[in-house]
């Protein structure tokens, strides 16, 4: 019988939802429209709040600038509050301007680098009004052909640009630095891996931390090892959770490889990083191309909850004992026992005790929310990835 006593540690745990997951998304071939999709950041926040109401796990929403630009940031903050959520990380966008063809913070021309730095100054101003503490930076910079630019010079430009952005932050604000193996650049990315991100974070200062997007590695990479290393170094700032079969697929977290999600959360629990004091921000970064958005987010949040619950029931004492005595198969068996335990009944009971629906997806389906917003949200322009 599994020991469920640590499940109450879920009370402190929270997941941050990406505003862009509620808009239309697609591939480079087609963005599909669907009824009820938000037309502005206010409606995106309302959808995110619905996920939070049903799960009790998602009290923050990340925004992307300029996609989520509004005239009145205080009004957006107040709207979030009235919906029972708050605004989380502010993501800067460095990939959609013509000037950024050869890069942004690493661009050969100072004029373009200055523009990119200025964009972060604007994001930091937004953070001050919205009460956000995390500036999240994903750098799309890189080159497509050997010899196109100097890899070394680009690193020097990057270090300088990042230092200028870091200097603009307030004492209570952090810089989250994300890495990605390839795409949009194909020969080299300027921040391709956790090591590069880590090196820049260390050079910047304590409030610069690494973001691990689960879709941004080579196939077969042992992601939980990276998690353990970054936690050990005190530099794991956030996750961008999603699933992938091939590259940066941005599918629902826990759908392609629930065992990997469990292994990641096992490393998290071992270092007590599921607790808010760790400073790790558990964010989602997903796009729902063909499935309904709110329900896609609901499932994602529940997948993370389920994987964390499994990690919390690992018999750590027995595991340590098996590890110490070199009992390889017992150690592996202890971990597998936890992974194979069906946590859904215990989690449903837990939700009921907290006044939440036992089955949030079913309750959402029956609530009529989807039909209601589909009826209300007519006219205007639906939010869409990239706009
Ligand atoms: C990037 C990266 C960023 C996200 C954008 C939308 O691939 O993962 O985290 O903000 O996509
Ligand atoms: Mn990401």
Digit-coded pLDDT (tens) for 186-208 = 999 999 999 999 999 999 999 99
pLDDT at 312 over 90: yes
For ligand 1, whether the C-beta of 285 sits within 6 Å is yes
Q: Provide the pLDDT confidence category of residue 325 given band limits of 50, 70 and 90.
A: very high
Per-residue pLDDT of 14-61, as tens digits, reads 999 999 999 999 999 999 999 999 999 999 999 999 999 999 999 999
- Half-sphere exposure at residue 306, Cβ-oriented, CA atoms within 13 angstroms: 22
For ligand 1, whether the C-beta of 213 sits within 6 Å is yes
Residue to mutate (ligand 1; options 61, 123, 140, 178; most atoms within 8 A of CB): 178
For ligand 1, whether the C-beta of 242 sits within 6 Å is no
Per-residue pLDDT of 158-185, as tens digits, reads 999 999 999 999 999 999 999 999 999 9
Short-list 379, 256, 288, CA closest to 20: 288
pLDDT given for residue 272 in this prediction = 98
pLDDT at 1 over 90: no
pLDDT at 128 over 80: yes
Per-residue pLDDT of 328-377, as tens digits, reads 999 999 999 999 999 999 999 999 999 999 999 999 999 999 999 999 99
Mean pLDDT for the chain overall: 98
pTM of the model: 0.98
CA 137 to ligand 1 centroid distance, Å: 9
pLDDT at 227 over 80: yes
Distances (CA, A) of 20 to 6, 101, 286: 33, 23, 8
Q: Which residues surround ligand 2, an ion (CB under 5 A)?
A: 213, 240, 285
For ligand 1, whether the C-beta of 138 sits within 6 Å is yes
Q: Where does residue 159 rank: exposed (0-12), middle (13-18), buried (19+ CB within 10 A)?
A: middle
pLDDT given for residue 385 in this prediction = 81
Q: What is the phi/psi pair of residue 24, to 5°? A: -70, 150
Which residues are 16's β-sheet partners? 60, 283
Pull the structure tokens for residue 212: 């691990």
Which residues are 283's β-sheet partners? 16, 240
Per-residue pLDDT of 233-284, as tens digits, reads 999 999 999 999 999 999 999 999 999 999 999 999 999 999 999 999 999 9
The closest-lying atom of ligand 1 relative to the alpha carbon of residue 248 is 7
Pull the structure tokens for residue 74: 């205080």
Which of helix, strand or coil describes residue 17?
A: strand
CA 253 to ligand 1 centroid distance, Å: 15
């Amino acid at each position: 019988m599994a020991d469920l006593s640590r499940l109450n540690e879920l009370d402190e745990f929270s997941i941050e939802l990406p505003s862009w997951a509620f808009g239309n998304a697609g591939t480079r071939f087609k963005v599909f429209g669907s009824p009820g999709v938000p037309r502005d950041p206010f409606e995106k926040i309302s959808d995110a709040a619905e996920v939070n109401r049903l799960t009790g796990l998602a009290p923050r929403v990340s925004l992307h600038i300029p996609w989520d630009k509004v005239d009145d940031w205080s009004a957006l903050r107040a709207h979030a509050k009235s919906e029972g959520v708050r605004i989380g990380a502010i993501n800067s966008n460095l990939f959609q301007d013509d000037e950024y063809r050869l890069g942004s913070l690493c661009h050969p021309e100072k004029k373009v680098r200055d523009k990119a730095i200025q964009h972060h100054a604007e994001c930091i101003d937004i953070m001050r009004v919205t009460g956000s503490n995390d500036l999240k930076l994903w750098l799309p910079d890189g080159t497509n052909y050997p010899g196109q630019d100097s890899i070394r010079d680009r690193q020097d430009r990057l270090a300088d640009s990042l230092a200028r952005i870091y200097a603009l932050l307030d004492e209570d604000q952090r810089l989250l630095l994300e890495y990605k193996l390839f795409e949009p650049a194909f020969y080299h990315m300027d921040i391709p891996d956790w090591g590069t991100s880590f090196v820049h974070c260390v050079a910047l200062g304590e409030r610069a931390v690494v973001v691990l997007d689960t879709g941004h590695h080579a196939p077969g990479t042992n992601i939980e090892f990276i998690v353990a290393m970054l936690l050990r170094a005190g530099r794991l700032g956030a996750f961008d959770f999603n699933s992938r079969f091939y590259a940066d697929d941005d599918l629902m977290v826990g759908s392609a490889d629930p065992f990997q999600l469990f292994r990641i959360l096992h490393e998290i629990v071992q270092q007590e990083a599921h607790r808010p004091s760790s400073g790790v921000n558990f964010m989602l970064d997903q796009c729902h191309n063909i499935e309904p958005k709110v329900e896609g987010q609901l499932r994602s949040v529940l997948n993370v909850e389920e994987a964390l619950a499994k990690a919390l029931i690992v018999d750590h004492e027995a595991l340590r004992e098996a590890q110490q005595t070199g009992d390889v198969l017992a150690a592996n068996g202890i971990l597998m026992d936890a992974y194979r335990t069906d946590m859904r009944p215990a989690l449903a009971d837990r939700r009921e005790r907290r006044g939440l629906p036992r089955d949030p997806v079913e309750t959402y389906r029956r609530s009529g929310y989807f039909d209601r917003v589909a009826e209300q949200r007519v006219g205007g322009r639906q939010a869409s990835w990239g706009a």
